[in-house]
Structure 1
Amino acid sequence: MKPFTKLLPLLILLAACKPQDPAPAATSTTEFERLQARAERVEIIRDDFGIPHIYAATDADAVFGMLYAQAEDDFPRIERNYVWAIGRLAELEGEDALYSDVRARLYMTLDEAKAAYAQAPPWLRALCDAFADGLNYYLATHPEQPPRLLERFEPWMPMFFFEGSIGGDIEYVPLAGIKAFYGGEPALESAARPDPAPRLNASNGFAISGKHTASGDAMLLINPHTSFYFRGEQHVVSEEGLNAYGAATWGQFFIYQGFNERTGWMHTSTFVDFMDEFVEEVSEVDGQLVYRYGDELRPVESYEVTLAYRDGAALAERTFTLYRTHHGPITHVLEGRWVATRINWDPARALAQSYTRTKLDNHAAFRAMMDMRTNSSNNTVFADAEGNIAYYHGNFVPRRDPQFDYAQPVDGS
């Protein structure tokens, strides 16, 4: 990062990153020079609390600095988040983690993630490129912090990790059912859905309208309700209208909960039912697995995934055949029948919504952004500089035929 020529009071300057050591093998000399040139366009200043304030001309360069600063603060958590998200957790944690990896690849393969990145809007691809560049530059300049597994970050990886929530949609799909189906374990009928019983803990945020404050300004209290180290605190500024302060989940390039000059937003956990299960009627015809949908028989999609897992000091491999219907991936068995579980999986659109949210300046624009409807695992509390407040209960509910009870698995035919 280029030197900051005007040292502000009570701020600590992060000096330029120009290591004497050569770039590691994962980064070519040409690429390292490109990353160095990019770093020269970014300023990172840390205040007395160690919070990074990132400044750049473009949003993409600001994201580069944002991820670099995150890595300085907690690279191991960034790496672990992506190892989990892309389905490689078993390479670190052993065979018991295989079904977490299976779940990830049920909802998206590596090729599908690369395609989602390639088809994303150019501005979003630029942010994903900056994400990868920032982390790869950190690795190239910090040989004392070797990664446990991911020696290089790729711009398609955020397609797997697009929710800032501590519990994203995919985590509502129980691993027990996946293990029973794909691992040959005894079927666990109760594994179909999480226990819906009320819990004693809760999630909250507070917004007070300007009509009820002495100043006439709205007030927003953000309760992060996470473990202490789950997110980092950052201030990210560009000359393209980005000026957001708040908490970012490690490895993500948007402020998940926070504020800009005109608006503030926070999220609470939602119990809106955004997940559907479809009991499929599967049979075999001429050696092909098919399922009934209306009057037709459709082929069951199947594909093989080979996953590595740690076995002592070595790595072993296991190959799984995974299945999908148009309703979603097959995740478990219910009374002897295959069940497909559908969640709101739209990675590029979800990333676009999460990033766009940080740059809006009034409630009308915020309301229009919420119509993207990909923030399905959270409620949203909002306040703005005009004194407005708002609460959004969830952000996505599937369109459902009212003749069926979608609180239970429904007949997929």
Structure 2
Amino acid sequence: MRSALLFGLLFCAAHAAHAQAFTPAEILRWNQQAQQVRIVRDTWGIAHVSGTTDADAVFGLLYAQCEDDFARVEDNYIEVLGRRAEVEGETALYADLRQRLFMDSTRAIAIYQQSPPAIKQLLDAFAAGTNYYLATHPTVQPRLLRRFQPWLPLLFSEGSIGGNISVVPVDRLKAFYSQQKSGAWQRPDFEQFDREPVGSNGFAIAPGKSASGHALLLINPHTSFYFRSEMQMTSAAGLNAYGAVTWGQFFIYQGFNEHCGWMHTSSAADSMDEYLETITKQPDGSYTYLYNGLQKPVQSAEISIAYRKDGQLLRRTFTTYRTEHGPVVGEANGQWLTVKMMDNPLAALQQSYLRTKATDYASFQQVMELEGNASNNTVFADKNGTIAYWHGNFMPHRPAGYDWSRPVPGRSDSTAWLGLHPVSELVQVKNPASGFIQNCNSTPFTVAGPAASPARANYPAY
């Protein structure tokens, strides 16, 4: 081992000025928790974080991430808070608006306050570890965030850099909310079929195909050394996971423990829908939408977004709209477009963390039944020799008779979701006869070779 760092060093006077943003009671509490954490960096600089409890390990994990690249930790949270325009200027205004349409701090705080105690402890440790880093590094100058709140991970819970919100076209959103004339619906760029796929690569090899006689899992052999931070987190409570973390998140996103390994590829599984709303403007200036023969009120809310321009911090306020399907994100041929997608950040965060403690295929699949992963496929292998693949996870059960790859009419419950498909109904494969699984953000129908892959005819078109 190249170096070892033991937390628990007392604050020195040189830090006092920078620490004034934090109270003496906070600093004392963080110092006490830091004494339960050890960070060892190996020859390659990889941080091996150990703690007494899982929360202690999270505390150390965030501290180590900030050591590696605080700027990227901060940038991810600036983005999910919808505050990029405060540092990047007016060009980021509508990306911030998109973010705030789907999730905001008020809701994240409410979810945090209602979270199970075990999750709340991890969220508190996330904030404590990040703030402890800032308190002990007075030369670090954040671009915007000088204090990290425990509810922040609820805005950024899946592991993917962008998640589903990122596929809502900003230009279309801007056209609607800046009152520019919009035209017919066009397939968003991310759905263009001639686009070169991007994302992750995963391969699982069955014991019968490996020289060792054990299952093998290969995770992202193509990525840069600097795309994600590679770390290990362990605790005396049984946590022991190694792999890649997304900057600012408190779980191993892709990696392994002593029992099993998992990785994720970008999924083309259709987990979200667009609805065409028939809108009527009322004499008082409000709007209604047609649903099951009734005119229902369109909900409106003011969203005020700060942005930097010519050295000043200015604000622009938008009147935003939503129906029961979701927020209005555009217009097509005189009808408003709304988007419905997964809206359960607590389940997403729980699933992201709990899968790192799975012990085999059965326990991993049990965690997947939280159905909190809307943007990823999963490639899996365990010490018992099981290899498996699931195409997506959060999958709405939709009525037949519609082309769900395009916007559907929102005027009645004939297009309402019928709940979610259980995990057992997802496109998947377990221990294929071919002895291998491969997925590179591609179709599930070639995942295990011509004879062993799932058959397209056995699943709904969506």
Q: TM exceeds 0.5?
A: yes
Aligned positions of 1:39-188 closer than 5 A: 39-187=34-182
SS of 2:19's equivalent in the other structure is coil
| Residue 12 (structure 1) shift | 1.1
Alpha-carbon contact 1:169-1:377 (below 8 Å) kept: yes
Give CA deviations for 1:67-117 in whole Å, capped at 9, x if unaligned.
000000000000000000110000011111011110111001221111121
| Residue 147 (structure 1) shift | 0.6
Selected match of 2:10 from 18, 38, 42: 18
Alpha-carbon contact 1:63-1:134 (below 8 Å) kept: yes
SS of 2:21's equivalent in the other structure is coil
Give the partner amino acid of 1:118. Q
Structure-1 separation of matches of 2:222 and 2:298: 41
SS of 1:14's equivalent in the other structure is strand
Structure-2 separation of matches of 1:344 and 1:184: 28
Selected match of 1:30 from 22, 25, 30: 25
Give CA deviations for 1:331-368 in whole Å, capped at 9, x if unaligned.
00011211101121211100000000100110001111
Selected match of 2:384 from 359, 383, 386: 386
Structure-1 separation of matches of 2:410 and 2:261: 41
Count of residue pairs brought into register by the alignment: 404
Alpha-carbon contact 1:43-1:55 (below 8 Å) kept: yes
Structure-2 separation of matches of 1:180 and 1:155: 35
Selected match of 1:362 from 327, 352, 360: 360
Q: Which residue of 1 aligns with 2:196?
A: 200
SS of 2:355's equivalent in the other structure is helix
Alpha-carbon contact 2:104-2:155 (below 8 Å) kept: no
Give CA deviations for 1:44-81 in whole Å, capped at 9, x if unaligned.
11111111111111111110100000000000000000
Alpha-carbon contact 1:90-1:96 (below 8 Å) kept: yes
Give CA deviations for 1:151-197 in whole Å, capped at 9, x if unaligned.
10001111111121234111111111111111233425456633422
Structure-1 separation of matches of 2:85 and 2:155: 16
Q: Which residue of 2 aligns with 1:5?
A: none
Structure-1 separation of matches of 2:384 and 2:230: 25
- The 1:224–1:175 alpha-carbon spacing in structure 2 relative to 1, beyond 3 Å, is farther
Alpha-carbon contact 1:167-1:377 (below 8 Å) kept: no
Structure-1 separation of matches of 2:372 and 2:106: 22
Selected match of 2:323 from 319, 325, 343: 325
- The 1:83–1:54 alpha-carbon spacing in structure 2 relative to 1, beyond 3 Å, is same
Give the partner amino acid of 1:42. V
Q: Which residue of 2 aligns with 1:250?
A: 247
Give the partner amino acid of 1:259. F
Q: Which residue of 1 aligns with 2:370?
A: 372
SS of 1:25's equivalent in the other structure is helix
Give CA deviations for 1:103-159 in whole Å, capped at 9, x if unaligned.
111001221111121122211111111111111111111011111100100011111
SS of 1:80's equivalent in the other structure is helix
Structure-2 separation of matches of 1:132 and 1:215: 42
Structure-2 separation of matches of 1:320 and 1:271: 32
- The 1:93–1:375 alpha-carbon spacing in structure 2 relative to 1, beyond 3 Å, is same
Aligned positions of 1:258-337 closer than 5 A: 258-285=255-282, 287=284, 288-337=286-335
Instruction: Give the TM-score, by structure 2 length.
Output: 0.84
Alpha-carbon contact 1:381-1:391 (below 8 Å) kept: yes
Alpha-carbon contact 2:185-2:333 (below 8 Å) kept: no
SS of 2:101's equivalent in the other structure is helix
Name stretches of at least 5 consecutive residues in structure 1 with no aligned partner: 1-9
Instruction: Give the TM-score, by structure 1 length.
Output: 0.94
Q: Does residue 207 of structure 2 align to residue 210 of structure 1? A: yes
SS of 1:348's equivalent in the other structure is helix
Structure-1 separation of matches of 2:410 and 2:400: 15
SS of 2:233's equivalent in the other structure is strand
Identity %: 50
| Residue 312 (structure 1) shift | 2.1
Give the partner amino acid of 1:331. V
Structure-1 separation of matches of 2:406 and 2:186: 13
Give CA deviations for 1:375-407 in whole Å, capped at 9, x if unaligned.
121110000001110011111221111122111
Alpha-carbon contact 1:192-1:334 (below 8 Å) kept: no
- The 1:210–1:296 alpha-carbon spacing in structure 2 relative to 1, beyond 3 Å, is same
Greater Cα shift, 299-308 or 354-363: 299-308
Structure-2 separation of matches of 1:40 and 1:123: 21
Give CA deviations for 1:193-226 in whole Å, capped at 9, x if unaligned.
3342233345421000112223221000001655
Alpha-carbon contact 1:332-1:339 (below 8 Å) kept: yes
Name stretches of at least 5 consecutive residues in structure 2 with no aligned partner: 412-462
Structure-1 separation of matches of 2:50 and 2:355: 19
